[in-house]
Amino acid sequence: MPTPLIYTANVCKTFTLGKRQVEAVRGVSLSVNRGECFGLLGPNGAGKSTLINMLYGSTIRTSGELKVFGLDPSHESRTIKRRLGVVTQDNALDESLSVRENMELYATFVGVPAPQRRERVKSLLEFMSLGHKENDNIRFLSGGMKRRLVFVRALLGNPELVILDEPTTGLDPAVRHLLWGKVNELKSEGKTILLTTHYMHEAEVLCDRLLIMNQGSVIAEGSPTLLRDQHTPGFVAVFDPRANPGLKDQADKQSFVVSQDSSGIYVRAPELNALLRFQDQHRATALQMRPANLEDVFLKLTGQELAADA
């Protein structure tokens, strides 16, 4: 069996805050295979960022085993960093320089040989549909263009592993879909992708496998399809609570999986026909009927209510 590109076994990280010991990561074990897109999901404070920081040695683990490319980040972080690229949450681009100048400067930092820098930058700008902007100043780029430029920066060193840390937060749907296509192209080229995101649909579209964390611990792992089938099989109907007072109680009496928040009453059943019958029986019209999705899984496992699609 091939050696995983990322391997962790019972990894823990404890921070000292004043007189308190805070366990940010609690016994996390995972493996990421070469050429796959692996998702790391969890609410804020789940330990995702701490785990990622441990992968390239920015944070040193307290205990457990951790290998990236077969190397220990505690001792060989420089070697590991040369073989990966990171799309950070913050763009951190130099707005006093042009697009090309920014990327050529960064290319020197990641060791691209001088004769290859301009061509490497030009090729990646074209790949991210930014070739026409190479001479523009950074400050005149849209938010979506800056985000795509951060992808260019992450790819300059031709990394084997690309870490995408919430890569599409705040972007409009058109740019998000463009970036999804680029991620799939990178995967088809043999790149390994590690993705963190709060967009559950993004994880469903891109990830071969994923791991859900909460309060520092792993609470689920598997493919999006497997997790849906295990934790939230069936279909969900969403009803307007103002137009359907008492409907939640009726759903509870009939043993449906049901919850309510300010956006609606959420009723889940194994079969679509059961929801249709329930709707007809109570003369209610659902705002939405859909298959259960990864967001339902996430919200169930992290202890939150069912909610509408992201």
Give the per-residue pLDDT at 309. Answer: 34
Q: In the chain, which ranges are E strands?
A: 6-17, 20-32, 37-41, 63-68, 84-87, 161-165, 192-196, 209-214, 217-222, 235-239, 257-261, 264-269, 288-291
* Cα–Cα distance for residue pair 104/90, rounded to 1 Å: 19
| Residue in this structure with the two tokens 């493919």, named with its chain if needed | 223
DSSP bridge pairs for 269? 235
Nearest to 270 by CA among 226, 224, 229, 222: 229
Give the per-residue pLDDT at 79. Answer: 94
CATH code linked to domain 234-291: 3.30.70.100
Given a cut of 50, the residues of the chain with pLDDT beneath it are 305-310
Secondary structure (DSSP) of 181-248: HHHHHHHHTT-EEEEE-S-HHHHHHH-SEEEEEETTEEEEEE-HHHHHHHHS-SEEEEE-TTTSTTHH
Q: Phi/psi at 150 (nearest 5 deg)?
A: -65, -35
User: Which CATH architecture is the domain 6-228 placed in?
Assistant: 3-Layer(aba) Sandwich (3.40)
Give the per-residue pLDDT at 195. Answer: 97
Give the per-residue pLDDT at 1. Answer: 63
Give the per-residue pLDDT at 253. Answer: 86
Domain extent listing, the chain = 6-228, 234-291
Give the per-residue pLDDT at 272. Answer: 95
Which amino acid belongs to residue 269?
Answer: A
